[in-house]
Amino acid sequence: MERRPRIDGHTLLAGVIGWPVAHSRSPLMHNFWLEQRGINGAYVPLPVVPGAFDVAVRGLQAAGFRGVNVTIPHKESAYRIVDRLDRSAQRSGSVNTLVFAPDGRIEGYSTDGDGFVANVEAHGIPVRGGRALLLGAGGAARAIAASLLDRDVDVVVANRTRARADALAAQLAGITVIDWAGADELLPSCRFVVNTTSIGMEGGADATLPLDLSRADTGLVVCDIVYVPRQTALLRQAAERGLRTVDGLGMLIHQAGLGFEKWFGATPDIGPEVEALLDADLHRAHAG
């Protein structure tokens, strides 16, 4: 029988706020780490309807929670509610991790960009310099762009709606914008290509990316932040060409580490065990 965590008066509490939130793998991941580290803590899903975010956050803070992760559709509300914005949050314009500090203040962090970079580096691929082509201009793209710029990567963004890419470039100095249809031409000069759109996601956009990988340099690293399915059409095509690929599951795991450290005071083990756990769970959920 599965061992249940003991909940008592000393249990450290955290969770994830989203709507819907039932699909989130964060509870599985954090509770695995808590048990692995022998920490008296619990991490719960917190379904909060749009409009109720502020009430929920104040309530959780008053109830002694250490903090929360924030996911769709509340990341902008999270950005507004914080008292102290970490640089990562300022740069990415969003917050996915709230920490309720002992002085009563709410601290906001964005861990998506650094989670992305840490995951690529965990694959043995250093992220420093070179050019990255980012497809998409949503919240995830901005966070990733900020982290890549910090590592002296030349960031080029292509988005279906060009105006959105232009807006992103206006917020982050150093980004170049090209047309969606022009993405292909840039491939030979790129070291990384990163899909941050919902193309390739199960139940996501029914479209294809404007990329012909036959033009890519053999050293190109192809990354996707989609993790359902883990092997998207883009990654499959890249692998067939012998290009190195990085899927989105590792980013999900790496972005979670900072929150765990802040709330529970320990560094989680970002190794093959947690990856296997999530991989098995995704397969169970999407089988048949």
**Using the 8-state DSSP alphabet, how is residue 228 labeled?**
S
Nearest Cα neighbor of 105 from 74, 75, 67, 50 is 67
Interface stretch with ligand ATR, choices 21-29, 76-84, 130-138, 252-260 (CB under 6 A): 130-138
Which one is catalytic: 74, 75, 91, 254?
Answer: 75
Of the candidates 139, 229, 257, 268, which one interacts with ligand ATR according to CB under 6 A?
A: 139
Of the candidates 5, 130, 138, 174, which one interacts with ligand ATR according to CB under 6 A?
A: 138
Q: Which is nearer to ligand ATR, 48 or 157 (CB)?
A: 157
Of the candidates 161, 170, 236, 276, which one interacts with ligand ATR according to CB under 6 A?
A: 161
- Using CB under 6 A, which residues numbered 79 to 108 contact ligand ATR? none
Q: Which segments of 119-188 are extended strands (E)?
A: 131-135, 154-159, 176-179
Q: Binding residue per annotation — 191?
A: no
Give the DSSP H or E segment for 156: strand 154-159
Does residue 262 have an active-site annotation?
Answer: no
Q: Min. distance of Cβ 138 from ligand ATR in angstroms?
A: 2
Q: Which is nearer to ligand ATR, 60 or 193 (CB)?
A: 193
Peptide bond into 188 cis (omega under 30): no
Q: Min. distance of Cβ 209 from ligand ATR in angstroms?
A: 8
Nearest Cα neighbor of 285 from 25, 12, 58, 15 is 25
Give the contact letters, 176-205, x = binds to ligand ATR (CB under 6 A), - = no.
Answer: --------------------xxxx-----x
Give the DSSP H or E segment for 70: strand 67-70
39 and 93 Cβ atoms separated by less than 8 Å = no
Handedness of CA 10, 16, 17, 22 (dihedral sign): negative
* 60: its two tokens: 């959780």
Interface stretch with ligand ATR, choices 25-33, 103-111, 158-166, 232-240 (CB under 6 A): 158-166
- Using CB under 6 A, which residues numbered 43 to 72 contact ligand ATR? none
Q: Min. distance of Cβ 69 from ligand ATR in angstroms?
A: 14
Nearest Cα neighbor of 246 from 260, 226, 262 is 226
Q: Which is nearer to ligand ATR, 159 or 255 (CB)?
A: 159
* 43: its two tokens: 């991490």
Amino acid letter, 279: D
* 50: its two tokens: 């749009």
| Residue 276 burial class via C-beta count within 10 angstroms: exposed 0-12, middle 13-18, buried 19 and up | exposed
Q: Binding residue per annotation — 159?
A: yes
Residues contributing to the annotated binding site for shikimate: 24-26, 71, 96, 112, 227, 255
Catalytic residue numbers? 75
* Site residues for ligand ATR per CB under 6 A: 136-141, 159-161, 164, 196-199, 205, 207
